[in-house]
Copies of this chain bind each other. A is one copy, B any other.
Amino acid sequence: MLLVSERDGRGAAVAVLGASGYAGAIAAALVQRHPGLDLVAITSRTDAGRRLADLYPQHRVPLVLEQPDIEHLAAASDAALVAYPHAAAATTVAELHARGVLVVDFSADFRLRDLSVYEQWYGSHPAPELIEQAVYGLPELKRDGIVGARVVANPGCYPTAALLALAPLARAGLIEDVVIDAKSGISGSGREPTEETHFVSADENVNPYKVGGHRHTPEIEQELALLAARGGGDAPGQLAPITFVPHLVPLDQGELVSCYVRPTRAVEQRELDTLYRDAYAGEPFVELADRAPGVREVRETNLCRIFVLADERAGRLCCFAAIDNLWKGAASQAVQNLNLMLGLDEREGLGVLAA
C-alpha cells in the first residue's frame, strides 16, 4: 500500500464492507465524494447484487453491492472500512490486516483492551491476538496513535460523545463519579426492522433501554480510567463504575449525552471553561457552545458540540455533548481516522464548513 502522497494524484483505494447498513452506507457515500480516496468496492451479505442507490437513493452511490470476498477485496484495496456487528467483524478484520490492508473497524471487537472484560460483555473473541495492535480511534484523544496504526477500532457512538464531554475532567482527576443519561435517534438501533424500530412504536415515545447493562459501559469506563491515569490524577481502575442509561427518542439520527459529575473537589464555571477551551483549542471537529446544544446543530456533520455548566448550588458538573450518531458516532469518524492513517489532512472529505 502506498500513502496517498505517493500515488501520483490518485486516491487510496478503499472498500466498505457492510455498506448496506446505515453507517456503512454513509461511509460509502463519504468515501465516494472524498477527493483523496477511491471507492473501489462495497459489500453486503444480505443485499449483494443491489445498487446502493436503490437502497438509499439519498446517498447517490451508484455502485453495486458485492458478496464480500477477502482475497478480492485485499487485492483491490489499500484500506477497508468494516461496518459489521461485533464478533462477525473480528475475523474479517484479522484477514484483511494479514493481507496488508489498513482497517477501520466499526464494531466493538477491538475497542476493549482487556480480553476478560470483552468476554464478560460480548462473549468469546474470535481474534484476541489482534487486540494489542488495534488503536482506539477517537482522534481528539488518541491522534498520535492513530497516525501510525494499521487497525483502528472506531469508537461506539455513546462513548464518542461521552468521552469528548468528560475527557478534560477525567484528565484533571476531577471525576468522583458520573451518571451518563443518553438520548439517541432510532437509527442507533440499526437498519433491521423490529418491533422497537417500527415507526408506531417509536413515534411519540421516549423510553430507556438496556438500563444498567448497555455494552458501551465498559468502553467508556476503560477510556475514562486511562485518561485519569495519564492525566496524573488517580490510577486507572480507581474510577468508580459509571451508570450509563441510553434512551430512544423519536428522531432519525442525532445523539445527546448528558453527563452528571460529582467532582473530587469544588469546581467553578470559570475553571471549567478554561479547562475545556484548553483541551479543545484547535480541534477541527469539536465546538464549545455557550448554551446547551441541540442535536439538530450537528446533524450530518463530523462535529461534536459540547456545553459544560457548573451547578454550583448542587455541587455538580453538567456536561452535554451532541453528535450525529451515524456520522461522528460512526461513519465520518471512521473517515477521519482513515485520513490520519493515510497521512491525509484529517478534515479531508468531511466538509468543515466554517473557517
Interface positions of A (Cβ within 8 A of B): 22, 29, 32-33, 53, 57-62, 177, 179, 181, 183, 185-187, 191, 193-195, 197-209, 211-212, 240-243, 245, 247, 249-254, 256, 258, 260, 262, 289, 292-301, 305, 307, 309, 311, 313-316, 318, 320, 322, 353-355
Contacts and interface: CB of A to CB of B under 8 A. Distances in A.
Given A183-B247, A250-B250, A193 B198 contact: yes
B200 A198 contact: no
A145 to B, nearest CB: 29
A193 B191 contact: no
A76 to B, nearest CB: 21
A253 B200 CA distance: 8
A245 B318 contact: yes
A309 B212 CA distance: 8
Contacts of A316: 179, 243
A260 B258 contact: no
22 contacts: A32-B354, A60-B353, A60-B354, A61-B354, A179-B316, A181-B181, A183-B183, A191-B198, A198-B198, A203-B251, A204-B251, A204-B254, A204-B295, A205-B294, A207-B292, A211-B311, A212-B313, A240-B315, A247-B258, A249-B249, A250-B250, A260-B260
A289 B211 CA distance: 14
B249 A299 contact: no
Given A205-B251, A211-B318, 8 more contacts: A60-B353, A193-B197, A199-B199, A205-B296, A206-B249, A209-B292, A211-B292, A212-B318
A259 to B, nearest CB: 10
Contacts of A260: 179, 181, 243, 245, 260
A260 B204 CA distance: 24
B200 A191 contact: yes
Given A245-B318, A353-B33, A181 B250 contact: no
Given A193-B198, A249-B250, A318-B243, A204 B204 contact: yes
Contacts of A318: 208, 211-212, 243, 245
Contacts of A300: 300
